[in-house]
Amino acid sequence: MEQTALVVKPRGIVPRIKAAMLDWLGVPIELTNGAFWAEFGATQNHSGERVSAEAAMRISAVWACVRLLSETISTLPLMLYRRVPERELATKHALFVMLKERPNADMTAVTFWECVVASMLLWGNAFIRIIRTGTGRTATIVALEFVHPAGVTWRRQQNGSIQYRWRDDRGREVIASDTDVLHIPAFTINGVDGLSPVAYGGNVFGGAIAAERASGSVWKRGLMLAGTFETPHSVQQKDRALFQERLIEYRSAMNAGSAPLLEGGITYKPIAINPNDAQLLETRGFSIEEICRWFRVPPFMVGHSEKSTSWGTGIEQQMIGFLTFTLRPWLKRIEQSVNRKLLLPEERSDLYAEFNFEALLRADSTGRAQFYSNMVQNGIYTRNEVRSKENLAPKKGGDDLTAQVNLAPLDMLGKTEQRRSTDNPPAPAQNAGQQKPTDDDSETP
């Protein structure tokens, strides 16, 4: 199928085009050209920089935050459980393999959920197309396909349902009803559309981009800012242009240490402003902290340890806060969306999807061992359940729940030993039928 091309012409559309899009004038643009549509939907901010999802990802702090959250969540297995009669894995359900290992023919579960979380972090929404076979009550979900959120539009129809539109990787328009799309919004204030951190935090991200640009300009033109050249007489235009051309050779940081030859009474007076006076380094450091606030990530987790403790319980408490206040809301948001859209109404009372949060403990052998020990000693896990979590074979007698009895109530003290003596009386002596001789029966030597 031939793709439709769009040519941006100066006439008629110039008032709607922002400064950064003027490079696209006269260039054929396909409907699947992500670079153009990213610029078309980018936002302007106080710094004058255009901020889009792709532009924001070029900031190291944004890249680190998005990777940290998306990779961490995607490596947690999303399991399908059955409630009754006891909690167990619903391994025979069609969704079990799709959620945990292979959602479609092109992606693994890690790659799939990584894209989903990254979409919510950058665009504020994630869209998943639900592929079914059969019709009506016999329809079965056979695949989950990720849809890039940049090109998805939706509108509410007269009957109250939502209709989604986008173009696939072949340029074909796809129209789907809300029953065939799993929409997972990020933080939202209307319950339907998620808010994009890139759009709402455009001033912060634009300031970070401007700081990076200024830093690059300093290194490109030299560590010292421009100075003034003074001459006792006027300079002709041709000599002025030649002087400027020769001066370019000494501007870059690579030529630091070399100096031009000044003739004709020309003297140089540098402007005494350096990057420290301009607070360039402080600005870049503050941008990292601001970006981390938008993604609710502790700065030390993206390599920014300034003004942050790195010893004792400081990092430990920050990690607990990260798991509780950052990861858990994202996990719950995905879990409840999956349960609402992928499970039938009659299945929701028995089945539910849940991330295995304990997988994060596998990296900490000491903490994992202490956790298992507490669970076994308090009769919550059996030893074979612990061995199963560690991918070890079960052992005979390891299916019984055990608990320590050293914390018995006060009124039970001493009764445990009495019960043991009653249940297990002492064994009779070997010569029980023979009477032990007394002193009177003994013979006198």
| pLDDT value at 236 more than 90 | no
437: left (phi over 0), alpha (psi -120 to 50) or beta: beta
DSSP symbol at 363: G
Higher pLDDT, 132 or 13: 132
Asked which of 35-39, 327-331, 354-358 is least confident by mean pLDDT, the reply is 35-39
Quick check: helix, strand or coil at residue 367? helix
- 55 CB contacts (<8 Å, ≥6 apart)? 38, 42, 49, 205, 209
Angle made by CA atoms 209, 215, 218, in degrees to the nearest 5: 145
Question: Nearest CA to 96 among 84, 107, 88?
Answer: 88
Q: What is the mean pLDDT of residues 372-382?
A: 87
How far apart are alpha carbons 440 and 202 in whole angstroms? 108
Confidence of residue 198 (pLDDT cuts 50, 70, 90): confident
| pLDDT value at 181 more than 90 | yes
Helix, strand, coil percentages in the chain from 3-state DSSP, rounded to 5: 45, 15, 40
Confidence of residue 430 (pLDDT cuts 50, 70, 90): low
Contacts of 256-260 spanning 24+ positions with Cβ under 8 A: 256/222, 256/223
What's the pLDDT at 31?
47
Q: What is the mean pLDDT of residues 396-410?
A: 76
Q: What is the mean pLDDT of residues 421-426?
A: 58
Q: What is the mean pLDDT of residues 175-180?
A: 93
First and final CA of the chain: distance in angstroms?
A: 124
Q: What is the mean pLDDT of residues 65-92?
A: 91
Higher pLDDT, 181 or 288: 181
Residues 144, 145, 151, 156: is their CA dihedral positive or negative? negative
Residue 431 in tokens: 């010569």
What's the pLDDT at 413?
56
What's the pLDDT at 248?
63
Each residue's pLDDT tens digit, 133-161? 887 767 899 999 999 998 899 999 999 89
CB atoms within 10 A of CB 337: 18
For the purposes of burial, counting CB atoms within 10 Å of the CB of 291, is it exposed (0-12), middle (13-18) or buried (19 or more)? buried
What's the pLDDT at 256?
53
Each residue's pLDDT tens digit, 354-373? 998 776 766 567 777 888 88
Element (H, E) at 387: helix 383-389
Question: Nearest CA to 184 among 176, 175, 193?
Answer: 193
Question: Nearest CA to 293 among 2, 51, 5, 65?
Answer: 65
For the chain, give the mean pLDDT.
75
Q: What is the total residue count of the chain?
A: 445
What's the pLDDT at 321?
80
Confidence of residue 112 (pLDDT cuts 50, 70, 90): very high
| pLDDT value at 188 more than 80 | yes
Alpha helix (H) residue ranges in 133-231? 197-200, 202-221
What's the pLDDT at 170?
83
Confidence of residue 392 (pLDDT cuts 50, 70, 90): confident
Burial 155-189 (b: 16+ CB within 10 A, else e): eeeeeeeeebebbeeeeeeeebebeebbbbbbeee
Amino acid identity for residue 316 in this structure: E
- 301 CB contacts (<8 Å, ≥6 apart)? 64, 68, 318, 322
Contact 408, 397 (CB under 8 A): no
Residue 313 in tokens: 């319980």
Higher pLDDT, 102 or 437: 102
